[in-house]
Structures are given as structure tokens and as C-alpha cells.
Amino acid sequence: MTTRSVRRRAALCALPTAVLVGLATAGPTAPAAATSEEFRPQLVTVDTPTREDKRLLQTLGLDLTEHAGHDYVEVVLHSPADVTALVSAGLGYDVRIPDLLAREAENNRANAAYAAATARSPLPSGRDGYRTLDDYNADMAALERDHPDLVELITLPHPSLDGRKIHGVEIGKDVRGPDRGLPTFLMLGVHHAREWPSGEHAMEFAVDLVTNYGTDARITDLVDRSRVVVVPVVNVDGFHLSRTDGGLVDLRETDGGGTATILGTPGNAYKRKNCRVVDGQDTPDGSCALAVTSNGGYGVGVDPNRNYGGYWGGPGASDLFADPTYRGAAPFSEPETQNIRELVSSRHVTTLITNHTFSNLVLRPNGAAPDLVAPSEGMPLGDPFDEAALKALGDEMAAQNGYTSQHAWELYDTTGSTEDWSYNATGGFGYTFEIGPDEFHPPFPEVVDEYLGAGEYAGKGNREAYLIALENAVNPATHSVLTGKAPAGATLRLRKTFATPTWDGSIQDSLDTTMTVGPDGKYTWHVNPSTRPVVMDRQVETVSGEPVAEQSWTGTTLPAQSTDREFTIDQDVDLFEIALDWPTPDDLDLEVYRKNADGSLTSVGGSGNFVGEKERVLLQDPAQGTYVLRVLNFASVTPSWTLTASLFNAESETVAGLVENWTLTCERDGRVVERVPVTVERGQQLRVNLTACGRR
């Protein structure tokens, strides 16, 4: 027995009794063959209109998935006994997928067929199937081994809760040499465990840059002018469980031309969160796989993409551990988000992309609607200071992959997300890519098409969108540049400590970056602006007077049905508000579409708040035309509603911001010799000579 095993066993003995009982009794068993032809595992939607209903559901020992809403939870039923447990508890349900294993097996069979028929895919790596965690680590190690002057394997400082190392690669000319002040482009994948394509695209982009360096002039130029950091799997524990369990469901040929069904439970195949079992405690390695009533990963863990510090604890992030968007006990409470925080805070990440699935979207800050008021600030969030530039880049990237470019809040309100914190804390542009139209991990050929582009986007896709993002990262007009003279070999440091607003308070953040002056005594340092966007001027729109036009409807929508109403905008207005109300605590959802000339619909907004919170969609500067307003009733038993569409003109107000400075120091032999305050704006080049640093 190793020392590590002894320590882990000792840690297990130290756990609270209640936790030990849960771990011992809950664990999902290994995948087993189905024994009944009459009943197949199925996905059902259980009615949980109150939080107490959700708590009751969690006590039944059922396989809860992380697919849940404000009045329902999706559950995998594996046997007639599971049905009996639901009925005995008085919980109603609707069948969504009558044979979940056949659905999972269909994708796996498609993947196997593609791999068998494909010697080498068109992807840069040639892969023909989804990577495992070991595959990612091996591929990153191979890039470093085969290209040591171009690639360095990095290990992030905080191991996962299950004790795994979290790796990435840094790509750049003379990557092991001193940092010469180049801008950083950061690419992230797999914050959410089940979103396998997000890691594939991040890894493929790394392979793309490395294998084409020196032969492709565009890529060579971009790599020479930047440092590219790729972390393909941020949430290694959750991904390992999802990928391992998801690969166990299979349909295999038997002799005689027949088929035998190997029906393994999907287990954690659709897990969303990380492997936090108990807030504030590190449990023994492997505990996540044994979590109580959580074969599907719904109950256990923290959502990493709600755990970042920016407006942490606000709308779109739950404070209930069992909810799929649980935000964690505190901002940056999880090792996954601590890693990315320290990575971003120690470099000038001028552009960041964090990949997710699905919905074919390019999302930009902010995550919460501009008219919401965070108690920590007492005024509307407004639009980002760099809204025009953020939108322009988002639109340009979306033109390559056919996705919709929009604010993140136009999908739904979120707080504590990756790019909301990184943009507002550093000024570096940040985006979320939601890859693919309709599945968390679809058949692998779809991953190929999304990366390289298909149909009218063939030869473009996310590959071209990523290259455009990298061009933005190296463009001096999109960040700031410091130049000057300093002693050769001296260490220059930029530092700033500040309060980052959460929803109800604040946390302390610190940015601390360094570079080494070259042998000629001159330096050029690509940096982010000195003033953070969160404290800059912000544009706030306030409604001026009564609506210029308004229409209301009342109606009834049966469970699992939807009702559409049309509304036409025939004038220029500033704001289009759609509000959905109902007289009970049950929940309805709202979707808004714009009708195209051919009758097709384009999604422009949606709202799905918690139980008791009414639905509202707010569109800024809406285009004239006809809109379809859709009321959805997934399972509400009291489905009467009132829908109101209102057009407003608004007054735009600029809320004055602050101006911040960096503290620039020059260090020799570990000692600060000179200290200078530096104020620099986006797109500005500022000369700062550190002459005193050269004196004895």
C-alpha cells in the first residue's frame, strides 16, 4: 500500500457518519445487462413544482439526471421498481424517451461505424472518435515531445477533488524562453462534464496550430506574435465519469447475423458538474462516483461555470447543492475555477474562448440583463463598455460557423460565468461558444463538421472562428502596449489589486504579470487596459414614459404543449419587452422568435426562471418585422396565462466610471528598483522608460 493510499483511507475514516452512509449505500452499480424485455430504462420528467418535491425525489434512490427545470427533474427509470417508488411517493411523471439505452447505443454505434470506415478523419489530428481523459493527456504530451521548441506541457496548480492533475499546453515560438511580453490567447473546454465536443475542438485547435506552424503563413505569423494556452478539459473528474460511462452503452453484432443488446446504465454519461461531494471538504478519491442518488450526476457537484467571482450568487445560479446550476459555497471555491483564475490573473489574456455544447451560439458579456440591479452596486448593470467591439468580433466569428451572435443574457440570465469575470476583471475579450444544434455529445462526425464547417460553411466552421479570435488577441488596437527602455534581463511587473463585485458583496482580486527585458535593453509589452470594464463608464437605458405600443393575450396551454402568438413591430423603438404572467406558483417558459421572409423562425430570446418567478424577455433595438411569442407548458397543471408585448422608447444615460492605473515595477536580483503608476487605455501605446532601474 502506498503512502497516498494510507492517507486516503485515513481521510475516509475521518468523514462524518452521514456522508459515509451515503457513500456506502448509494453507489451506482456497474453497468449490467437488462433482464426484462417488458421494461427498458427510460427518461421521464418528474413533476416537482416545489423545492420540497425535489428534496423528496432525492430520497428515493433513483437515477437523477442533471436535466432539470424549475418545476421538473428528469430521471432515468431502470426497472418497474423505480416506477413503484415514484408512484408511492405521490410524484407524477411523463415519459420523454421510452428507451434511453437504445438512444445512447444509437450514437455509440454510429461512432463505431464511423471509426471503422475512417482511416483518418479530416480533423488536424486525424482522430475518428471522442478522446478519453488519458487520450487528452497523451496527445498533449506528444505535442510537447515532438515540438519541444513550440509546445510546453503545463500543469495547473490545483489538482481536482479526485486527485487528478489538470493539464494544458502553451504554444509559442521559443516557448521555453523568457516571457517577452506577447499577448495571450486562452482556449478552454469541458467546464461541463457531458459536453465532450468542447474539449475536442479546443484540442484540435492546438494540434492545428502546432502541425501547421512553419508551413501555413497565417498560422506561423499568429503563433510568432502570441502565446496560446489551451486547457481542453477543465473539469477532469466530471469528464472522466461522463466519458467512461457514456462509452459503456453499446449494441454489438453476434454470430448468425443477429444482435445482442449490451445495455449498460448511462450512469454519469450526462453529468454536468464537478465532483464536489461535500461543500468545504475534500472527500476520498473516487467519492464522486459513489454519490447518493446521483447516477446521472445531477445531485453531486458544483457547476464550474457559475463559480467564478464576477457577480457570483446572482440570477441563473442556484444556491441549492442538488440543482444543476449550483454556484458553490463561495466564489472560486472549486479547484477548477481557481486554476483558471490564477492562469488569467498571471498573464495578459487579451482574448478568451470557453467552449460548451449546445445551441449554435457565440455568446458575449454580460451574462445578466442590462436592466438588472446588483445589490452590491445599486445601479443597473448596463451594457459592457466595449459592447460595440465585442459585438463586432462576435458577429465576425458567427459568420464563419453559422451560429447566432448575441449577449449571454439573451439566452438566459447567468452569473458567475467564466468570461463575465475575466472580461470585467481584466478587460480581455471573452466569449462562450455553444457548439452544435441539439446534443451534448452527438455522433463524432458532427464534431468534425462543426470544427471544419459543413454545407455553406465548409472550410470555415469553428476553426476559422478561432483563428479570427487569435487575430483579435494579437491586434494592438484591441488591447494596450507599453514600450520603453530598461536594463537588459530586468524583470518588469504589472500589478493591481481590487474588489470584484459579486451579486451581494465583493471579493478581492489581484492581477500580477511579469516579463523579462531583452538583451538590447528595450521592451514591448502587450497588456490589457489599466482600467477594468466593470468600473468604466456604462451605458444604461431607462424607459421613458408609457409604451408606444402594447398588446396582451390570455390563453390556456395544456401540459407538454406550446401556444404561439404573433406581434408585429412597424416602427423604430429602443426596447421590446415580452412578459408572461400566470396566477399560480406553477411555472411556464417563454421563447421569442423573429419570423423570416420564408416563414422560418430565428430564436432571439427566451426566459426560464425559477418557480414563482415570472418570465420576461427584453430585446434592445429590435428590428422591424413579425415576431412569434411562444408560451411553453412542460408539466404545469394550471396552465392559464397572460402574455404582454410592449414597445418602449428609452433614454440612454452614461453612468460615469473610474480611471485605474497599473503599478509598473522594475526588479533586479529580486529587488524592486523602480516603481511607476501607469494609466493606459485600449488601443493606446504608451512609452515608459525605466531609467532609474539602470542606476546603481
pLDDT band at 538 (very low <50, low <70, confident <90, very high): confident
Q: Flag the least confident range among 422-436, 451-465, 467-481, 535-549.
A: 535-549
Mean pLDDT of all residues in 527-545: 86
**Which pLDDT band holds residue 84 (cuts at 50, 70, 90)?**
confident
The helix/strand/coil state of 503 is coil
Q: Taking 90 as the threshold, does the pLDDT of residue 224 lie above it?
A: yes
* Domains of the chain by start residue, with CATH: 3-100+270-290 (3.30.70), 108-243+300-478 (3.40.630.10), 541-654 (2.60.120.380)
pLDDT, tens digit, for every residue of 657-691?
899 999 999 999 889 999 999 999 999 999 999 98
Average pLDDT, the chain: 84
Nearest Cα to 83, choosing from 54, 56, 63?
Answer: 63
Place of cell 487528452: 136
Helix axes 196-212, 133-146, angle to 10 degrees: 10
Mean pLDDT is lowest, of 9-23, 194-208, 315-329, 615-629, for 9-23
Residues with catalytic roles: 434
Identity of the highest mean pLDDT range in 23-32, 216-225, 551-560, 591-600: 216-225
Residue 59 has pLDDT above 80, yes or no: no
Reply yes or no on whether the pLDDT at 172 is more than 80.
yes
Counting Cα atoms < 13 Å in the Cβ hemisphere of 459 gives: 1
Residue % of the chain over a pLDDT of 70: 83
Question: What is d(CA 115, CA 443) in angstroms, rounded to the nearest whole number?
Answer: 11
What beta strand segments (E) does 328-444 contain? 349-356, 361-364, 404-407, 429-434
Task: List the beta bridge partners of residue 539.
Answer: 383, 654
Angle, to 10 degrees, between the axis of helix 335-345 and the axis of helix 418-426?
A: 30
Q: What was the pLDDT predicted at 41?
A: 64
- The full DSSP string for 40-76 is --EEEEEE--SHHHHHHHHTTT-EEEEEE-SSEEEEE
Q: Say yes or no to pLDDT of 23 above 70.
A: no
- Supply the pLDDT for residue 254: 30
pLDDT of 20 above 80: no
pLDDT at 19 over 60: no
631: CB partners within 8 A, 6+ apart: 555, 557, 562, 563, 564, 565, 580, 588, 589, 590, 641, 643
Residue 654 buriedness (CB in 10 A; 0-12 / 13-18 / 19+): exposed
Q: Look at residue 327 in the predicted model and tell me its pLDDT.
A: 95
pLDDT of residue 31: 30
What is residue 369's predicted lDDT score, i.e. its pLDDT?
Answer: 84
Start-to-end Cα distance in the chain: 57
**For residue 16, what pLDDT is reported?**
31
More confident residue, 603 or 416: 416
User: Is the pLDDT reported for residue 12 higher than 60?
Assistant: no
User: At residue 280, what is the residue type?
Assistant: G
How many angstroms separate the CA atoms of 57 and 64, rounded?
A: 9
> How many distinct helices (H) and strands (E) make up the chain?
14, 31
Whether residue 159 has pLDDT greater than 50: yes
- CA separation for the pair 95, 93 (Å, rounded): 7
